[in-house]
Amino acid sequence: MAPLVVFSKIRLLQNKDPNPDSLTLRRFIHISNPCLLESDASTRCMDENNYDRERYSNYFLKYKNCQKFWNSIMVQRRQNGVT
């Protein structure tokens, strides 16, 4: 039964429902994925530009750079013993 609850909450996020439960889940996802804004922007740009790679490549570059940055931060934290 739990997977259905998670699926329904994710579905609420996709519909931008102002339900407090969906906002709480979105905050949790943002904490676990610091590049959520870049990810959302790249997805939105793909949808708006009919998947024309030339138009949304800048958004993907920003997302890729964000992932590299946060990955290096996590590696440094593990090396320093910070969780």
The CB density around residue 4, as the number of other CB atoms within 10 Å, is 8
CA–CA distance, 61 with 71 (Å, rounded to integer): 15
Its pTM stands at 0.59
The full set of domain ranges for the chain reads 1-32, 34-83
Model confidence over 24-64: pLDDT tens digits? 666 666 567 889 889 889 989 989 988 888 888 899 999 99
* DSSP-based three-state secondary structure for 11: helix
Q: Would the pLDDT of 12 be above 90?
A: no
CA–CA distance, 34 with 67 (Å, rounded to integer): 8
